[in-house]
Homo-oligomer: A and B are copies of this chain.
Amino acid sequence: MQKTPTLQDVARIAGVSTATVSRTLSNPKVVHESTREKVANAVRVSGYRINRAARNLRTQRAHSILVLLPDLANPFFSAILEGISISLSAKGYSMLIASTKQVHASGEQLVDYLDDARADGMIVLDGGLTPEVVGTLENASDSKPVVFACEWIENGKFPSVRSENRRGTKAAVKYLYDLGHTKIAHIAGPEGNVLMHARKDAFLAEMKTLQLELKPEWLVSGDFSLDAGRIAAETWIAMHDRPTAVFCASDQIAFGFISELSRCDFKVPKDVSVMGFDDIELSERFIPPLSTIQQDRTRLGKTAAKIVLDWLEGKSDNPTIILPVTLIKRESTSGPSN
Q: How would residues 177 to 214 of chain A score, 1 for a CB under 8 Å from any chain B CB and 0 otherwise?
A: 00000000000000000000000000000000000000
Contact A106 B78 (CB under 8 A): no
* Interface residue? A317 (CB, 8 A): no
Of chain B, the residue at the smallest CB distance from A288 is B262
Known: A95-B96, A98-B95, A287-B259. A281 touches B226 (CB 8 A): yes
Copies of this chain held together in the complex: 2
Known: A57-B57, A255-B285. A52 touches B117 (CB 8 A): yes
Which A residues lie at the B interface, using CB under 8 A?
A: 1-4, 47, 49-54, 56-57, 60, 62, 64, 72-75, 78-79, 81-82, 85-86, 89-90, 94-99, 102-103, 105-106, 108, 112, 115-118, 141-143, 226, 230, 255-256, 258-259, 262-263, 281-282, 285-289
Contact B285 A287 (CB under 8 A): no
Q: Which residue of B64, B73, B115, B289 contacts A78 across the interface (Cβ within 8 Å)?
A: B73
Contact B56 A85 (CB under 8 A): no
Report the minimum CB–CB distance from A229 to chain B (whole Å): 8
Contact B62 A53 (CB under 8 A): yes
Contact B75 A75 (CB under 8 A): yes
Q: What residues of B have a CB within 8 angstroms of the CB of A86 in the complex?
A: 102, 105
Of chain B, the residue at the smallest CB distance from A2 is B141
20 contacts between A and B (CB under 8 A): A4-B142, A53-B56, A72-B78, A72-B79, A72-B81, A72-B85, A73-B75, A73-B82, A86-B102, A89-B103, A89-B108, A95-B97, A96-B96, A226-B281, A255-B282, A259-B286, A259-B287, A259-B289, A262-B287, A262-B288
